[in-house]
Structure 1
Amino acid sequence: MKSVKRLLIVIFVIYLLPTFASAGFWAMQDHPTGWSAARWTSAGILPKPEESNDAAIYIFSAMTGGLKGAVASHAWIVTKEKGASAYTRYDKVGWGAPIRRNHRAADAYWYSNMPQLVASVTGSKAELLIPKIEGAIAAYPYAEPGGYTIWPGPNSNTFVAYVLRTLPELGAVLPPHAVGRDYLPDGEFVHLDEDWRDLHVTIRGLAGFSIGERSGVEIHFLGLVAGLDIARPGIKIPAVGRIGI
């Protein structure tokens, strides 16, 4: 009985307390009254595509809207072919055809929230990886209408995390508040990245862990993530994000 009580205390302190604190802070801020009142224009993070001839890949994440915005973010992928005069953006959304192409500016605000640049790759490496990204997007198993579940997944973060796991060369992991990122397709229980540098174990994205060079050490509970970042020393706090040390 004592061990159960201790486990509940640990869960409360590590997962629920930061979530409640984040929700409380969120409630004190001003937010758009609805979708149409939110800002969706470019945040001015990316250079104009014509300013560089190089190929480029960017992974973005931004806190989402409504009550979800207190604890969860939305991720997307941006690419630019060598010599291209425009970016190509890929998102997964919860209405219509799930995989959207260029439905917003590449670095647009999401529900008025500033995007966070999670990772970037440019030059010859990006040039080689872009066709692989497009192949991974084409192979994504939940790309048909109805292939979206807000929690525990598959959702927008499941989509981007799938591409990142398929292409470990991108060297990126979505932030801890990217709820749904740990949902593995087709009921998969264990996934070892192709380069053997990250191991993911999950029960339908509800409980599990990840360990490796990119993920560090993570424990997942109900879509919330806590852990340690080893590659870039820091801690991962549920609903809050990564804080560097």
Structure 2
Amino acid sequence: MSSTLGVCVRKIGVFIMLIGVLAACSNTNWREASREPAGLAVNPAITKDAVIEFYAADAFSWRGWFAVHTWIAVKPENATEYTVYEVVGWRVKQGLPALKQYQTTTPDRYWYGAKPDKVLSIQGDKAKQLIPEVTAAINRYPWANEYTLFPGPNSNTFPQWVGLQVPELELELPFRAIGSGYAD
């Protein structure tokens, strides 16, 4: 009986510790989370070449323990800004398309407190040649108005789908890009 009780106490202790760690490490206030640039992007004021970049950062809050959020940034030759494309679930809840695009000089901003990693960067002539194909694929994205956390379509389905449409990108998303398999 005492060994069974000891196992139960240990299991309860591990459970309580896990809850404490999740509560302590999860950022629940998105309004205060950093959205500063990470300093990874090619500066469009200096680099006149065409650029295509894919980024991934830990998903917001507790989801970041398991998954990343991914997005695409495109800068045509001589452009002074990037166009960033990403799929965001809360937009659908507001009656907006999940696929969002915006102009910025800093496409490498922290994703609500999580520093991004650059997954892929293509510059120069190859980027110049691929940007029309990437843009055309983005415009054909079949789930632009949909978002489902799991199994997808979600923020990771989108860049994976673009990568499949433009195999010359040779895109390999991180293992934690949950939902990327929805596009296969």
Which residue of structure 2 lines up, in the alignment, with residue 133 of structure 1? 134
* Structure 1 counterpart of 2:58, one-letter code: M
* TM-score normalised according to structure 1 size: 0.62
Amino acid at match of 1:83: N
Task: Give the alignment's TM-score, normalised by structure 2.
Answer: 0.81
- Which residue, 57, 60, 64 being the options, matches 2:59? 64
In structure 2, how many angstroms separate the alpha carbons of the residues matched to 1:47 and 1:119?
Answer: 12
Structure 1 unmatched ranges of 5 or more: 1-22, 185-199, 201-245
| 1:45-97 deviations in Å (ceiling 9; x for gaps) | 11320201100100100001122111000000011100111111100111122
Aligned counterparts of 1:81 and 1:35: Cα–Cα separation in 2:
31
Q: Identity percentage over the alignment?
A: 37
Tell me if 1:120 matches 2:121.
yes
Q: Which residue of 2 aligns with 1:101?
A: 101
Partner of 1:53: 48
SS, match of residue 45 in structure 2: helix
Q: In structure 2, the residue corresponding to 1:182 is in which secondary structure?
A: helix
Q: Which of 1 and 2 has higher RCO (CA within 8 Å, sep 6+)?
A: 2
Aligned residue identity for 2:113: S
Instruction: State the secondary structure of the residue aligned to 2:180.
Output: coil
Matched, 1:78 2:78: no
> What corresponds to 1:166 in structure 2?
165
Partners of 2:82 and 2:103 within 8 A in 1: no
Deviation at 1:31, TM superposition (A): 4.0
What corresponds to 1:92 in structure 2?
87
C-alpha deviation, 1:174, in angstroms: 0.5
Displacement after TM superposition at 1:172 (Å):
1.4
Structure with greater proportional strand content:
1
- SS of the equivalent of 2:163 reads helix
Comparing 120-129 and 88-97, the one that deviates more: 88-97
Structure number, greater radius of gyration: 2
1:112-154: CA deviation from partner (whole Å, max 9, x where unpaired): 111011111110010010010110011110112xx11011100
1:111 CA drift (Å): 1.7
Offset, 1:28: 7.8
SS at match of 1:40: coil
Q: How far apart, CA to CA, are the structure 2 residues paired with 1:51 and 1:83?
A: 10
Alignment of 1:211-222 (within 5 A): none
1:204 is matched with which residue? Answer: none
Displacement of 1:43 after TM fit? Answer: 1.1
Aligned-partner residue type, residue 154 of structure 1: P
Q: Quick one: which amino acid aligns to residue 92 of structure 1?
A: V
- Pick closer, same or farther for the CA change 1:46–1:29 going to 2, 3 Å: farther
Structure 2 distance, partners of 1:103, 1:86, is 6
Return the letter of the residue paired with 1:133.
V
The alpha carbon displacement at 1:183 in A equals: 0.4
Q: Unaligned stretches of 5+ in structure 2?
A: 1-17
